[in-house]
């Protein structure tokens, strides 16, 4: 089955804010959400807030409310909120059944160590483990009726290339089998893995435009592979450059405390944060105090640099001045 695309110009469009409550939102998240919000408000897309709380061992309950407070503090709004992702898992169970019936999943009980031991040299830039086809159980590819949800299930990747057509980054080709290989869609904790949950929820919630940081670009290929098997539409992808520290690593605690809650509590005004974001988005030659409406008025996706942003201590000093 081949998935339809979301390309009917007359259809209303919907995007989502999809924070994971596994930690506090930081300046990198703020930039992605501001751009997502400005794209939506400029183009009359509606915005759904969906808190993705399925990563159970890592979820920190107090960060659910904190995410809403952080977004509101920045002057961002949304049109509706989905129930917490973990509270509506029936559609994911259904999708697991459908993948089983299509012969596209198999159970896996191997440890990370066993998977790593079988791994040859990585073929693409995807970090992490690759599940080699040689590890598949002999019955992989057979139809499975009612897969047991207390097991880990992997998606049986075919030997094709996924073309991801990104509205910001252009066309990228991914050969998933040479990258991560057969990836998990269900975990032994009894719930969907990220790739399945996000694919199912984006489709059933009518998401036409996915805006997020570029570290998830390889995931778009995996999500497309699932969409094609389940006959789900592929949304428009907008992957945005990352914010990194001076050491080239993704923005994190080691680069200074850039949590929005911390900035707020220490008295940094939101207009300073937005002004820094505007500078990072190519909207002004240096950080300037702005509110979210000013940001929206000057926002133009074509001004956004293609390169990742480097966060330097001077940026934090500007916020704290």
In the complex, what is the shortest distance from the CB of residue 28 to ligand GLU, in angstroms, rounded to a whole number? 10
Examine residue 20 and tell whether it contacts ligand GLU (CB under 6 A): yes
Residue 90's Cβ-count burial label (10 Å; 0-12, 13-18, 19+) is: exposed
In the complex, what is the shortest distance from the CB of residue 154 to ligand GLU, in angstroms, rounded to a whole number? 20
In a 3-state reduction of DSSP, which class is residue 6? coil
Of 212 and 255, nearer to ligand GLU (C-beta) is: 212
What backbone torsions phi and psi does residue 23 show, to the nearest 5 degrees?
-175, 170
Q: How far apart are CA 83 and CA 231, in angstroms?
A: 24
What backbone torsions phi and psi does residue 153 show, to the nearest 5 degrees?
-120, 135
Within residues 144-203, the interface with ligand GLU by CB under 6 A covers 198
In the complex, what is the shortest distance from the CB of residue 290 to ligand GLU, in angstroms, rounded to a whole number? 25
Among 104, 130, 212, 239, binds ligand GLU (CB under 6 A): 212
In a 3-state reduction of DSSP, which class is residue 107? strand
Examine residue 222 and tell whether it contacts ligand GLU (CB under 6 A): no
Distances (CA, A) of 292 to 70, 79, 119, 227, 275: 13, 16, 47, 35, 9
Examine residue 71 and tell whether it contacts ligand GLU (CB under 6 A): no
Examine residue 19 and tell whether it contacts ligand GLU (CB under 6 A): yes
Q: How far apart are CA 270 and CA 27, in angstroms?
A: 11
**Number of shown-chain residues binding ligand GLU (CB under 6 A):** 7
Examine residue 209 and tell whether it contacts ligand GLU (CB under 6 A): no
Contact predicate 71/111, CB 8 Å: no
Among 84, 216, 242, 301, binds ligand GLU (CB under 6 A): 216
In the complex, what is the shortest distance from the CB of residue 139 to ligand GLU, in angstroms, rounded to a whole number? 32
Stretch that binds ligand GLU, among 12-20, 98-106, 124-132, 226-234 (CB under 6 A): 12-20
Examine residue 15 and tell whether it contacts ligand GLU (CB under 6 A): no
Contact predicate 84/39, CB 8 Å: no
List CB contacts of 84: < 8 A, sequence separation 6 or more: 51, 53, 64
Examine residue 261 and tell whether it contacts ligand GLU (CB under 6 A): no
In the complex, what is the shortest distance from the CB of residue 301 to ligand GLU, in angstroms, rounded to a whole number? 17
List CB contacts of 180: < 8 A, sequence separation 6 or more: 126, 128, 129, 130, 131, 218, 222
Provide the 10 A C-beta neighbour count for residue 72. Answer: 12
Distances (CA, A) of 106 to 91, 141, 146, 158, 176: 19, 7, 12, 13, 17
In the complex, what is the shortest distance from the CB of residue 82 to ligand GLU, in angstroms, rounded to a whole number? 12
Examine residue 319 and tell whether it contacts ligand GLU (CB under 6 A): no
Stretch that binds ligand GLU, among 16-24, 70-78, 271-279, 298-306 (CB under 6 A): 16-24
Examine residue 64 and tell whether it contacts ligand GLU (CB under 6 A): no
In the complex, what is the shortest distance from the CB of residue 317 to ligand GLU, in angstroms, rounded to a whole number? 28
In the complex, what is the shortest distance from the CB of residue 239 to ligand GLU, in angstroms, rounded to a whole number? 10
Among 52, 70, 126, 201, binds ligand GLU (CB under 6 A): 52
Examine residue 13 and tell whether it contacts ligand GLU (CB under 6 A): no
> Residues in the site for ligand GLU, rule: CB under 6 A?
18-20, 52, 198, 212, 216
């Amino acid at each position: 089955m081949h998935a339809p695309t979301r390309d009917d110009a007359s259809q209303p469009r919907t995007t989502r804010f999809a924070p994971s409550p596994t930690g506090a939102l930081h300046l990198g998240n703020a930039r992605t959400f501001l751009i997502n919000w400005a794209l939506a408000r400029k183009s009359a897309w509606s915005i759904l807030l969906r808190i993705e709380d399925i990563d159970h061992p890592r979820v920190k309950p107090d960060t659910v409310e904190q995410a809403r407070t952080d977004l509101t503090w920045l002057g961002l709004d949304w049109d509706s909120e989905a129930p917490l992702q973990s509270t509506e898992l029936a559609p994911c169970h259904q999708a697991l059944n459908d993948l089983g019936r299509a012969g596209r999943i198999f159970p896996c009980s191997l440890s990370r160590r066993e998977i790593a031991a079988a791994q040859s040299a990585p073929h693409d830039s995807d970090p992490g483990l690759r599940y080699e086809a040689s590890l598949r159980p002999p019955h992989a590819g057979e139809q499975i009726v009612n897969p047991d949800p207390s097991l880990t299930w992997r998606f049986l990747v075919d030997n094709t290339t996924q073309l991801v057509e990104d509205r910001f980054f252009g066309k990228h080709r991914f050969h998933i089998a040479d990258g991560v290989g057969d990836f998990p869609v269900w975990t032994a904790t009894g719930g969907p893995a990220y790739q399945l949950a996000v694919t199912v929820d984006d489709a059933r919630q009518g998401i036409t435009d996915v805006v997020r940081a570029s570290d998830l670009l390889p995931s778009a290929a995996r999500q497309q592979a699932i969409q094609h098997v389940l006959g789900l539409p592929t949304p428009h992808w907008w992957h945005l450059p990352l914010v990194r520290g001076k050491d080239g690593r993704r923005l994190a605690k080691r680069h200074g405390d850039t949590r929005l809650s911390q900035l707020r509590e220490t008295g940094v005004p939101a207009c300073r944060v937005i002004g820094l974001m505007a500078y990072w988005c190519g909207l002004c030659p240096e950080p300037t105090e702005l509110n979210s409406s000013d940001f929206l008025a000057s926002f133009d996706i074509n001004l956004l640099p293609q390169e990742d942003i480097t966060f330097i201590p001077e940026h934090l000093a500007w916020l704290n001045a």
